[in-house]
Structure 1
Amino acid sequence: MATATLTRTDGQRSLPTKTMETNTPGVCPCHGRPWVDLLLRKSKIVREGERALSIRAQEERGRAWADEHGYCVRKVWKENLSAWSDVRRPKYDAAMSAVLAGEVPALWCYALDRFSRKGAEAVVPILGKARVIFDYERLDSMDERDRRWIIDRAENAREYSQRLSHNVRVTKDRQRNEGRWLGRAPFGLVAHRETRRLSPNRTPYTCLIKGRRELTPWEVVTRIFKEIAGGTSLHALARKLNEEGIRSSTGKFWRADSIRAIVVHPVYEGWLTVAPGGRSHKRSVHYINDQGEKVRCVDAAELPEMIPADVAARARRVMSGNQIIDSTRIEGRAVHALSGKMRCASCTGAMVIGGTSYNCQFRRAGGACPGPASAWREAIERYVVDAWSARLHSAEDDDPLLLAVAERWQALSRPDESEEIKEARAELKAAQLKLDKFHADDAADFYEGRSARYRIPHKVAAEKRLDAAEKRVKELAGGGRVDITFLIEGHAAKTWHNADPQLRRDLLGLAIDTVIVTKSPGQGKPFKGEERVSIVWAAPETDEYEQAA
C-alpha cells in the first residue's frame, strides 16, 4: 500500500494516511469508509425571532458527525432558499436521488425543518429505504424506533410553516390594502420610512452630464415616458441616455429592456402592484383588494405629480407598435410629386430624384442592384397622375379606396381631429390585445392558487377597457362627414393641376402608397407606364369594429 496525504477542505492540517485500493460502491477509495452527503439549507429571509444556523456552521457540524461515525463526506449540497410551497429545489432532488438509488449510503441534514416543510409526504419515501440523519433531533430514518418521531416532527414543521405563512400573508394583505409598498422602491421613487407610501425621488444623483446640473431620478422617469410617447424607440433612447452620461441609480448603463420595464410598470401612475409569480408571469400587475378595486400607493397630494394615465397609455401603445407616430409633417419635407413613394422593383429600394429622372437609390450610391430602375420624371409623373385621376373617377361609393382617401384628407385638413381618432384606434387595438392576453393567461392556468383572486377583476377590467375604446372610436368615426367631392366625379385632374407642388404630392398620397418601377427594356426606349409601373393603392385604417358599426 502506498502512503498519501489528504488535504481537508475544512482548513484543518493534513493527515498522512494509507491508500485503500478498493472499488466498493459507496465507499471512499482513500479511507475505506462509507460515503455520506451533506444537505445544507438556509432560507434567504430569516424571520424575526428565528435563529437560523448558517450554511458554514451546518457544514462544520456535518463533517464533525461524519468523522465521529466513521464516514467520509462525498458531496455537500447547499441551498439558500425556502423549503416550502412550490419552490423548485434541484439540489435537494439530486441529494434525494443519490441516497434513494444507493449511490451514497447516507445523507446528513442538520434538522428536519432544514430538510423540508412539506410534512409526512417528504419523509415517508425515505423511512426504512434510505438512511437520512437528522442531527439536531438525533433521528435516523433507518431506525425503526425513530419512524413515528420523524413523521411527528415533520408534521410539526409543516404546521409551523403553514401558520407562519398565513400570518405573514394576512399581514401583507392588510399593509397592501393600506397602500404600503413592501419591497424596494422602483427607480425614480422613494418610500416613506414609516408609512411606506411612495413619492417621486427628487434627490439629485451623479449622472455625468457635462455642463449640466445633475438630474433627479424622477426627471429621468418623466423623460422616458415623454420620449417613448413621442415615438423614440427603446434602443434609441437607451443609446441617448448612455451617450449623455445618464446612469441608473446603481450606476449601470441603460438597456432597452430596463426602459421597457419602467414604461409598463403601473407604479409610475401611482398604483400598487404585486408580482404573482409562476411560470407564465413575472411582471408586476395591479394589486386588487377584497372589494375588487385597485389600490393607490401614493398620497393624494403626490398623485398629480405622477405620470398621467393618458401619457402612460400612449407610451405603451407606441412602444408595442399599436400606435404609429406620423413623422411626415415636418419642415423641409420633400415636395416632388412622387418622392418617398417610388420603389425599384429589382432591389425594392427607394428611387430618388436626380436631375430630370427618378433613379434607384441603391445603384446611385454605388450598390450592385441587379436591375436598377430609372424613369424620366415628367413622363412617370404624367402617367401616375393620369392613373390616379382615372382610379378615383371610376371608384364606386362603397370602394375602400374612397374611405382611405377620406381618412387621409381628414388628416391633412383637420390634423387635430385626425390625431384624436388615431389615438382612439390605437387604444382600441391595445385594449383588444389586453383582453386576448387575459384569455391566453386563463388558458395557461395562470389564475390558479394564490393568483385566482385576480382572475375576475382582470377580466372585468380588460372588457371594460375594450368597451370604452370601441365606444370612443364609434363616436369619433361617426362625427362629421369629410367632403372629398373635389377629387371624384372627374374633378381630380383639375384639382391636382391647380395645386401647389407640396399639395400635389399630398393629393397623390391620399390614394397611393407605393409606385413600383421596373428597369427600362433598353436605353432610349420610350416610357410605357402600363408595362413598367405597378401602383399600390391606399387601404383604409378603419378596422372591423367601425365597419360593423
Structure 2
Amino acid sequence: MPLLDRGRRIVAGYERLDSAEPRDRRRLIDAAEQAKEYSDLLSYRVKGTKRQQREEGAWVGLVPFGLHIVNKRTRKLSHDPGPWRIVLLIYRAAANGVSTRTIAKRFNFAGIPSPSGRQWRAGMVQKIIHHPVYEGLQVEAAEGNSRVSRPYRNRHGQRVSVLDEGVEPIPAGLVRSARLTVSGRVQRGTGARKAKHLLAGLVRCAGCGGSMASTGESYRCGRVAAGAHCPAPAMALVAKLDAFVTESFLSRLDSGDSEDDLLGVVAKSWNALSRPRETEAAREALDALKEAEGARERLLRDRQAGLYEGADLLFYELHDEAKRDLEAAQERVSVHAAHVVDISFLLDSVCLQETWDAADLPMRRDLLRLAVARVTVRKAPRPGAKFVGEERVAVEWLTEA
C-alpha cells in the first residue's frame, strides 16, 4: 500500500488492527485489496445497469421539472399537469422573443414556484429551454465542466425516447424556435433583443475582458454601460470597427491555402449552416462509431479482467455482435465522408466580395462567425484620437480560440 510504503501508520479501530504491528500489516493490506476489488466490481455493475437502463429509455436520476415517473418498473416519464403547463409557457414565451430574465420576473411576480421552490432565475429558465428531456430524449452528462445535459445515443448512434406511450414532447418546431431565439440567432417581435449590428456578441473590452454593448453608433464596454467599473473602458464607432473586422475577415480567407487549418473550420461551419440535416446525420454517424469502438474496447477489457472466465461462448457471441456494430458504424461514416463541401466561393476574393455585398445583415453575421471567435478592443490612447484598427483591435480566429 502506498501509505504504508511512505511510512504512514494506519489504525483500524473496529478490527483493532495497527500497521505498526508486523502481524497486522498483512491483514490491513489484504482487507484494503478486498475492499478495492469489491468497490471496482460494484462500480462496474452500477455503470452497466445505468447504461442498460438508458438503452431501454428508463429515466435515471432525479425527475425533471414538469414530468413524473408514470411506471416504476419501466421508469418512463409522463406530464405532471400543473408544472408541465409552466414548461409550455416558458417555451412559448421564449419563441415569441421574451427574454429568460423577463420570463423569470413574470413568474416571480405571479407567485409561481420554481423547481427549487424559491425565486425563478434566468438560468433556471434557460436550463429548461435547452434540456433534451422536453424533446422526449434520454440524456447523459456532457463532457468537461459543462453542467448542460446532452442527448444520449445508444450503441447504434440513435437517440432514445424516455416518454411513456402516448405522451407527447414539446413540439419540435417550438423547441427549435425557442432555442434559436434565446441564443440570439433568430429574433422575434420588435423588442430590444434584435441584433442590429454586425459584431454584436463578438466584441470584448481589453480593459476588463467583458463584452461590449452596441448602443447607438458605438460599441462600449458593457461594464461601464451597466454602471460598473472598468480599469480601461474601450469604445469604438460601429462603422469604423465593423469596416476593420470585415476587411480583416475577407483578407484572411483570401490569403488561405490548402494547408490552412482555418479553412477546415470554415468548411465544417459552412456545412452545418447550409446543410443542417446532412450535418446532423454525419454527427450521428460519428457518435455511433465512437460508441461502437467504446463497446468493443470495454468488452476486451472485461475479458482481460476475467469477467468472462469460463464463458468463452458468451464472449465470442458478444464480440461478433460488437464487430458487426463497428463495421456498420464505419460504413455510415464513410457514406457521409463522401460528401464534399464546396467552399470555393469563400476562397475566391471576387466571389467572396460579391457574396458579402449581396448578403443582408443576418447572413453577414453568419458568414463572419464562420472564422471569427472574438474581437478585442483596447481603449483609445487619448480622447478624440483617430481610430487605427491595427493598433487597437485584435481579431481572434476560431483556430486560435
What displacement does 1:534 show?
1.8
What displacement does 1:361 show?
1.5
Given residue 222 of structure 2, which amino acid in structure 1 is its aligned partner?
Answer: Q
Which one of 8, 15, 26 corresponds to residue 94 of structure 1? 15
Evaluate the alpha carbon distance shift between residue 510 and residue 208 of structure 1 in structure 2; reply closer, same or farther with a 3 A threshold: closer
Residues in 1 aligned to 2:355 and 2:287: alpha-carbon distance in whole angstroms: 32
Query: What does residue 71 of structure 2 align with?
Result: 189
Given residue 401 of structure 1, which amino acid in structure 2 is its aligned partner?
Answer: L
SS state of the match for residue 491, structure 1?
Answer: helix
Contact 1:512 1:538 in 2 (8 A): yes
Given residue 492 of structure 1, which amino acid in structure 2 is its aligned partner?
Answer: L
Residues in 1 aligned to 2:197 and 2:247: alpha-carbon distance in whole angstroms: 16
Contact 1:352 1:360 in 2 (8 A): yes
What displacement does 1:538 show?
3.0
Q: CA RMSD in A?
A: 4.9
1:509 equivalent in alignment to 2:369: yes
SS state of the match for residue 339, structure 1?
Answer: coil
Evaluate the alpha carbon distance shift between residue 365 and residue 456 of structure 1 in structure 2; reply closer, same or farther with a 3 A threshold: farther
What displacement does 1:338 show?
1.0
Given residue 310 of structure 1, which amino acid in structure 2 is its aligned partner?
Answer: Q
SS state of the match for residue 199, structure 2?
Answer: coil
1:388 equivalent in alignment to 2:270: no
Unmatched 5+ residue regions in structure 1? 1-89, 102-185, 192-197, 213-238, 245-258, 266-285, 287-293, 295-307, 316-324, 541-549
Query: What does residue 39 of structure 2 align with?
Result: none
Evaluate the alpha carbon distance shift between residue 314 and residue 459 of structure 1 in structure 2; reply closer, same or farther with a 3 A threshold: farther
Given residue 420 of structure 1, which amino acid in structure 2 is its aligned partner?
Answer: A
Query: What does residue 388 of structure 2 align with?
Result: 528
1:496 equivalent in alignment to 2:356: yes
Which one of 280, 283, 292 corresponds to residue 422 of structure 1? 283
Contact 1:447 1:454 in 2 (8 A): no
1:538 equivalent in alignment to 2:398: yes
Residues in 1 aligned to 2:310 and 2:70: alpha-carbon distance in whole angstroms: 30
Contact 1:386 1:493 in 2 (8 A): no
Residues in 2 aligned to 1:451 and 1:526: alpha-carbon distance in whole angstroms: 79
Residues in 2 aligned to 1:473 and 1:200: alpha-carbon distance in whole angstroms: 32
Query: What does residue 360 of structure 1 align with?
Result: 221
SS state of the match for residue 94, structure 1?
Answer: coil
Contact 1:339 1:353 in 2 (8 A): yes
Query: What does residue 240 of structure 2 align with?
Result: 379
Normalised by the length of structure 1, the TM-score is 0.39
Residues in 1 aligned to 2:382 and 2:278: alpha-carbon distance in whole angstroms: 49
Residues in 2 aligned to 1:441 and 1:525: alpha-carbon distance in whole angstroms: 68
What displacement does 1:358 show?
1.2
Contact 1:424 1:469 in 2 (8 A): yes
Contact 1:405 1:511 in 2 (8 A): yes
Residues in 1 aligned to 2:312 and 2:228: alpha-carbon distance in whole angstroms: 59
Query: What does residue 143 of structure 2 align with?
Result: none
What displacement does 1:363 show?
2.7
Query: What does residue 209 of structure 1 align with?
Result: 82
Query: What does residue 194 of structure 1 align with?
Result: none
Residues in 2 aligned to 1:396 and 1:406: alpha-carbon distance in whole angstroms: 13
Aligned pairs (5 A) from 1:242-321: 263=138, 310-312=158-160
SS state of the match for residue 213, structure 2?
Answer: strand
Given residue 82 of structure 2, which amino acid in structure 1 is its aligned partner?
Answer: I
SS state of the match for residue 371, structure 1?
Answer: coil
Contact 1:435 1:463 in 2 (8 A): yes
Residues in 2 aligned to 1:475 and 1:314: alpha-carbon distance in whole angstroms: 30
Residues in 1 aligned to 2:394 and 2:296: alpha-carbon distance in whole angstroms: 40
Contact 1:379 1:527 in 2 (8 A): yes
Query: What does residue 330 of structure 1 align with?
Result: 186
SS state of the match for residue 515, structure 1?
Answer: strand
Deviations 1:91-148 (A, max 9, x none): 9x628x69xx9xxxxxxxxxxxxxxxxxxxxxxxxxxxxxxxxxxxxxxxxxxxxxxx
Residues in 2 aligned to 1:314 and 1:467: alpha-carbon distance in whole angstroms: 28
SS state of the match for residue 375, structure 1?
Answer: strand
Evaluate the alpha carbon distance shift between residue 360 and residue 382 of structure 1 in structure 2; reply closer, same or farther with a 3 A threshold: same
Normalised by the length of structure 2, the TM-score is 0.51
Residues in 2 aligned to 1:421 and 1:358: alpha-carbon distance in whole angstroms: 39
Aligned pairs (5 A) from 1:226-237: none
Deviations 1:132-172 (A, max 9, x none): xxxxxxxxxxxxxxxxxxxxxxxxxxxxxxxxxxxxxxxxx
Query: Which of structures 1 and 2 has the bigger CA Rg?
Result: 1
Query: What does residue 62 of structure 2 align with?
Result: none
SS state of the match for residue 312, structure 1?
Answer: coil
Given residue 361 of structure 2, which amino acid in structure 1 is its aligned partner?
Answer: P
Query: What does residue 146 of structure 1 align with?
Result: none
Deviations 1:376-423 (A, max 9, x none): 111111111111111111111342222222222222222222222233
Deviations 1:231-266 (A, max 9, x none): xxxxxxxx975669xxxxxxxxxxxxxx9xx9479x
- Which structure has the highest helix share of the two? 2
Aligned pairs (5 A) from 1:161-176: none
Residues in 2 aligned to 1:311 and 1:363: alpha-carbon distance in whole angstroms: 45
Contact 1:385 1:493 in 2 (8 A): no
SS state of the match for residue 395, structure 2?
Answer: strand
How many residue pairs align between the two structures? Answer: 264
Residues in 2 aligned to 1:456 and 1:346: alpha-carbon distance in whole angstroms: 62
Query: What does residue 347 of structure 1 align with?
Result: 208
Which one of 315, 329, 334 corresponds to residue 474 of structure 1? 334
Deviations 1:422-457 (A, max 9, x none): 3334444555566666677778x4848799998777
Residues in 1 aligned to 2:331 and 2:372: alpha-carbon distance in whole angstroms: 30
Evaluate the alpha carbon distance shift between residue 200 and residue 515 of structure 1 in structure 2; reply closer, same or farther with a 3 A threshold: closer
Residues in 2 aligned to 1:387 and 1:431: alpha-carbon distance in whole angstroms: 43
Residues in 2 aligned to 1:526 and 1:504: alpha-carbon distance in whole angstroms: 26
Residues in 1 aligned to 2:223 and 2:322: alpha-carbon distance in whole angstroms: 47
Aligned pairs (5 A) from 1:54-133: 94=15
